[in-house]
Amino acid sequence: MAVANWELALKDKNYVSSLLLENEDTWKTVRAEWTADWVQKVNLYDADWHSLLIDADWHLITHLDPDNASFDAFARLRVSNPKTILDFKQNRDNEPLFFDEAETSWTWTTATYQTNKASTRLAVSATTAWTLVRQSKQWWQYQPWKSQLIFITFANSESVSWITKMAWYYWDNWWFYHKHEDWVANVWIRTYNTWSAVDTDIAQANWNQDTMDWNWASWITLDFSQTQIFVVDYEWLWVWRVRMWWVVDWIPIYCHYFLHTNSTTEVYMSNPNAPIRYEIQNDWTWAADTFDAICSSVISEGWQEQTSLSSYHSRNWTPITLANQDLYTPILSLRLKASAKCTKVTPQDISVFLTSADNYEWRLYLNPTIAWSDAVSWSDVTNSALQVDTTRDNTNTCTWWFILTWWYWSSSNQFRVESHWDVASFLTLWTQIDWTPDELVLAIANIDWNAWTAYGWITVTEYC
């Protein structure tokens, strides 16, 4: 609609029911809402509830209103080139490689994959207090001055008394989330910029943009017994804002803003990276209930540059004697430090050196089963998010759990392969709900003969 050509007929401040705007051959009915300072500004909405503004001379303002979903968290016009950095859908299984599920208190909870509903049903029993969590293993990286956009879908999030259901972008010390507890919907932000967490929990009746209970501009009532799309976009830089919204029948509706710039004396959260998390709790009252986790996506709006650090990890001058034929000997293992859970680590280059001419296969395992008594001894790597181990020996052979990449070759004493195209995927080094870190293990097998010795090293990228 060509708003620049519209003429506004406005009578006085008591004329608040409806107005007519004329644009050449089209008349549209709009609803007006007066602000306190009505002479300067009146809020107008067209028949589709798109915001319109007029100036003090009653002319329509031609610039776009940045407080709607056409703009990202930095008030920049959204365009069609978002960079998806997480995308989880359950159209085949419940994604056990990407999500962890755990009872964080007691037992008697279940997580059941629903094949025909492409979702996982989290259920608590009616016996006593239980908590069940479904959480992504990877933390998703925020890049400064980029709007981060998070979509989380779920069903049956309405809670009865003593039941709490939550969809989170979560870490222990900071989070954004939607919570439904004891029949009440909330949005919540936790900050942790001192030595204790500070929670700001806003009930639906107090949402500052739209309570979505038929009383605000959208005239939409959220029904939490149905499927919902919960969305968060935020700008970090330590000090900016967080917006929370819902998508109903393709229409994005902002419900609440948390504002921080020019109103706080310190950062509002210490880390912008987090995993996706679904959770259901039963609070000691013997009530059974369910919560369906469906799909989630994390998007960096306007792409993400590769600004990661490359780090090199090696056996150095220490060779390892390989196990017998067709057994895979671990020559190098990596995992995240406990303090670096938010770091994304991607293998970039793998190299091996054999001391004999023979036929071999190398594999890069994710969390393999280690034989016999595991001789692992982790050492911190300086200026890196990683720990490394080279103490496992040829009794600690690896068996399959998941192989990220592999290669056969006939060695002439030296072989080198760049494998970053095979390894650079969502499936990298992550952590479990209990913060147990994943392991990457580079292993080699002699497929023709026994013994011989080998060296190996891995180059990875690190970004937090």
CA distance 104 to 412: 52
Residue 146 shares a structural domain with residue 269 = yes
- The answer to whether 7 touches 21, Cβ cutoff 8 Å, is yes
Residue 161 shares a structural domain with residue 237 = yes
| pLDDT for res 238 | 63
| pLDDT for res 50 | 53
Residue 9 shares a structural domain with residue 114 = no
- Band (pLDDT 50/70/90 cuts) for residue 163 is confident
In the three-class reduction of DSSP (H, G, I as helix; E, B as strand; rest coil), residue 13 is classed as coil
Residue 394 shares a structural domain with residue 315 = yes
- Determine, yes or no, domain membership for 59: no
- Determine, yes or no, domain membership for 66: no
Residues 397-417, mean pLDDT to the nearest whole number: 73
> What is the tens place of the pLDDT at every residue in 305-330?
777 888 999 998 889 999 988 899 99
CA distance 351 to 418: 8
User: Two tokens at 284?
Assistant: 């000691």
Q: Is residue 141 classed exposed, middle or buried when 0-12, 13-18 and 19+ CB atoms within 10 A define those classes?
A: buried
- Determine, yes or no, domain membership for 183: yes
Residue 205 shares a structural domain with residue 146 = yes
Of 11, 32, 53, the position where a domain reaches its end is: 53
| pLDDT for res 68 | 64
Domain with 235 in it: what CATH number? 2.60.120.200
Residue 33 shares a structural domain with residue 136 = no
Lowest mean pLDDT among 11-25, 140-154, 259-273: 11-25
- Determine, yes or no, domain membership for 430: yes
Residue 160, C-beta contacts closer than 8 angstroms, at least 6 positions apart = 182, 183, 287, 289
Residue 154 shares a structural domain with residue 247 = yes
Considering 173-177, 351-355, 435-439, the range whose residues carry the highest mean pLDDT is 435-439
Of 262, 278, 301, the position where a domain reaches its end is: 301
Residue 271 shares a structural domain with residue 139 = yes
* Beta strands 276-282; 130-136: pairing state: antiparallel
Q: Which domain holds residue 266?
A: 83-301
CA distance 222 to 215: 12
Residue 429 shares a structural domain with residue 317 = yes
- Determine, yes or no, domain membership for 333: yes
CA distance 97 to 85: 16
> What is the tens place of the pLDDT at every residue in 93-134?
999 888 999 887 666 788 999 999 999 999 988 766 788 999
- Determine, yes or no, domain membership for 400: yes
Residues 384-395, mean pLDDT to the nearest whole number: 95
- The answer to whether 333 touches 315, Cβ cutoff 8 Å, is no
Residue 45 shares a structural domain with residue 163 = no
Q: Could you report how far apart the first and last alpha carbons of the chain are, in Å?
A: 44
Q: What does pTM read for this prediction?
A: 0.77
Q: Where is pLDDT greater, at 159 or 31?
A: 159
User: Two tokens at 170?
Assistant: 């979560």
Residues 8-16, mean pLDDT to the nearest whole number: 37
Residue 42 shares a structural domain with residue 119 = no
- Band (pLDDT 50/70/90 cuts) for residue 37 is very low
Q: Does the pLDDT value for residue 1 go beyond 50?
A: no
Residue 123 shares a structural domain with residue 255 = yes
- Determine, yes or no, domain membership for 382: yes
In the three-class reduction of DSSP (H, G, I as helix; E, B as strand; rest coil), residue 415 is classed as strand
Of 277, 301, 325, the position where a domain reaches its end is: 301
Lowest mean pLDDT among 66-75, 257-266, 414-423: 414-423
Mean pLDDT (the chain, rounded): 77
Residues 343-362, mean pLDDT to the nearest whole number: 83
| pLDDT for res 405 | 83
> What is the tens place of the pLDDT at every residue in 237-294?
767 788 888 888 777 888 888 888 887 777 777 778 888 899 998 876 667 889 999 9
- Determine, yes or no, domain membership for 71: no
| pLDDT for res 285 | 66
Structural domain count of the chain: 3
